[in-house]
Amino acid sequence: MYPLFESVCIANGEIQNGTYHESRFKSSFYALFGFEAKYSLFDNLNLPLIDTSLKCKLRIEYNEIGVKWTVSEYVNKIPTSLLLLKNDEIDYRLKYTDRKQLNHSYLQKGDFEDVLIIKNGFITDATYSNILFTDGHKIITPSTSLLQGTCRTRLLTEEIITEAPIKADSIHLFESFQLINALNDFDENRWISIQNIANG
């Protein structure tokens, strides 16, 4: 059994943001197992020849002693409409292969493309992505995210975005949002109207 995993983007035939995935792997490994990993996330990774025109997803599942991985072509499927959904019990602080809680939330999306989860009154994440908001000047991500995504972490490190607690009843203060994850990086041309987020 492999309780944790990383989803890594391969673009132009190369692994993207590998250092951020390795860093999260190390911290998550220690948090779950209580000791430091004796191997690296990308050890003995022999990728097949990949068409450099394709974006691919490398899924690496891991446990105390090793990894298993698969590569598949990735087709962008970024939700553009979100339903606010309250869930005060959800916990996804590590990238677990068991996504039952997130999948249960996703099934409640109705006619929307995904849900935006509210925990204890604060905005967290969509089911597969962190979220960014802008008021036309600053770009902010919730400090109460369920999972510290690698793209989110990189954007914070590079000071492209900042983080702050965002209450569910204050998102009307923003103009637009966009969802980000390892396979869908920040894009200045991908903002979506805040009107596309609806109350449940």
Question: What ranges do the domains of the chain cover?
Answer: 4-73, 82-198
Sheet holding 4-11: strands in order across?
Answer: 14-15, 4-11, 56-62, 67-73
Residue in 181, 148, 141, 177 with CA at minimum distance from that of residue 162:
141
Whole-prediction pTM value?
0.95
Q: Which of the four CATH numbers 1.10.150.120, 3.30.470.10, 3.30.1490.20, 3.40.470.10 does domain 4-73 have?
A: 3.30.470.10
List the structure tokens of 151: 């793209």
Q: Cα torsion for 60, 34, 126, 98, to the nearest 10°?
A: 60
Dist CA 142 CA 89 (whole Å): 18
Contact at 8 Å (CB) between 105 and 147? no
Give the C-alpha distances (Å, rounded to integers) separating 25 from 4, 18, 38, 61, 86: 9, 10, 12, 10, 29
Per-residue confidence in pLDDT tens, the chain, 200 aa: 999 999 999 999 899 999 999 999 999 999 999 999 999 999 988 887 788 889 999 999 999 999 999 999 998 889 999 999 999 999 999 999 999 999 999 999 999 999 999 999 999 999 999 999 999 999 999 999 999 999 999 999 999 999 999 999 999 999 999 999 999 999 999 999 999 999 97
pLDDT of 51 reads: 81
pLDDT of 182 reads: 98
pLDDT of 1 reads: 93
pLDDT of 130 reads: 99
For residue 59, the one-letter residue type is: R
Contact at 8 Å (CB) between 108 and 83? yes
pLDDT of 50 reads: 80
Instruction: Output the CATH code of domain 82-198.
Output: 3.20.10.10
Q: Collapsing DSSP states into helix, strand and coil, what is residue 198?
A: strand
Consecutive H or E run containing 27 = helix 18-33
- Over its C-alpha atoms, the chain yields an Rg (Å, rounded) of 17
